[in-house]
Structure 1
Amino acid sequence: MDDTHHRVRIEQIHTEHSLALLRYLIRFAGERHAAEDMLQETMLRAWRHRDALPGDENGVRGWLFTVARNVAIDADRMRRVRPAEVALTDLNDAVAAPDSPDSALAAQDMVRAFANLSEVQRDVIRHLYFRGDTVEEVATRLGIPAGTVKSRAHYGVQALRAAVSS
């Protein structure tokens, strides 16, 4: 089959099955955003294995749900082994309120703490929190996996939090 035929077939499969798959994945993920990511991964795998997809609709549906289940299980495993993400905004509790006498000292503490991070942690935090790049953009820009970006951000923010709260 040519690419045009495959593209049309995948679009039809997506149209026919995506809503049911999304509902199924929401039960695994507990929230829509994560389920949408898993649905996207499921459809990406369908595209990658387009030549091996069953010919009948019941077979395709079963194949998709099996893949979606595997994607959900993989995502759950990754979530369990990956450190929890920490937002830089969580540091707000540790830093003095704006315009208070202590705010200048707190800002100096933050600058010192930031300087004490490893260079790779500073790069990730600079891109994520100061430039507003997404995890995927940072991963591409720095040539590292997205999980590494998240890990460096997590440990960097933890170090910042510890430095400013001590």
Structure 2
Amino acid sequence: MRGVRPVPRDDDERLGALFDAHAAPVWRYVVSLTGDRAGADDVVQETLLRAWRNPRILAQEPSTMRAWMITVARHLVIDEARSARRRHEHPVADLPEHARDDDTDALFEQILIEEALSTLSPDHRAAVVTTYFGGRSVAQAAVELDIPEGTVKSRLHYGLRAMRLALQERGVTR
């Protein structure tokens, strides 16, 4: 084959020595991290291949070389754990039929309204809550609050105006 050079015999021996010296400890380390014996074989193979391709590492002391290999193996395990294949993510063509609405927006709106209502005077707040949130007419609110209908209308007008300002201060309305 063109472009592929045969591995010299002494390289075969050095590769065998590299495997004999480091494969078992690296494999045990990877198994201790993952618990996956078959996957550990792949990580060890890739680690040894990276060491073999790095002449600076091959020239190091055996203890330094082992530390480098352990680090490379750890990074390979982390990369595999982060990959989509490991997380079993599979794209789907169709979305699930029953999507549930998120109640977060409604909760935030409720909090903003409660804060705006808390800025009103007690009389204005009672008129707004009774009519708008209580679902009562002006006449019904007047009876319930024991005040004239004109007063209910006035308190509604000024209460809603104050609420609009409070909401504007919170960036809700224009």
If asked which structure has higher relative contact order (CA below 8 Å, sep 6+), I would say 1
TM-score (norm 1): 0.45
TM-score (norm 2): 0.43
More helix per residue: 1
Structure number with larger C-alpha Rg: 2
